[in-house]
Amino acid sequence: MDALKTIAADSLKAELPKFNIGDTVKVSVNIREGQRERIQMFEGTVIAKRGSGVAETFTVRRVAYGVGVERVFPVHSPNVKDVQVVRRGKVRRAKLYYLRDRVGKAAKVKELV
């Protein structure tokens, strides 16, 4: 088991982005299309964080053209280039799954002042 932990420790990112549940973030994702690579931005609200170590992930939700879109990003993935915090959210829950059922202004998260 210790050998697995040492192998996993090598693939951890040195500097982790500091963000919490409820924050609006811009995630820069490396997209491969055949031989070409490009960086795509995905902006939305962090509704969940789970796991630890190499398996740590976070879920980002946004509404695009009236349809809710959620993506799960591994924190330590080499394809996740950068995570920028656009605004801090004030929440009292660890998981914001209730936002899936809300529409319009009811789905907003208050800003932390």
The domain ranges of the chain are 2-105
The pair of three-digit structure tokens given for residue 109, joined into one six-digit string:
């998260």
**Residue 32 identity (one-letter amino acid):** R
Q: What is the pLDDT along the chain (113 residues), one digit of tens a residue?
A: 678 778 777 778 777 789 999 999 999 999 999 999 999 999 999 999 999 888 899 999 999 998 999 999 999 999 999 999 999 999 999 999 999 999 889 999 999 88
Q: Angle at the Cα of 82 (from 40 to 38), degrees rounded to 5?
A: 30
> Is residue 25 classed exposed, middle or buried when 0-12, 13-18 and 19+ CB atoms within 10 A define those classes?
buried
Q: Contact, 53 vs 8, CB < 8 A?
A: yes
Q: What is the pTM of this model?
A: 0.88
> What CATH number was assigned to the domain covering residues 2-105?
2.30.30.790
Residue (of 16, 78, 19) closest to 49 by Cα position: 19
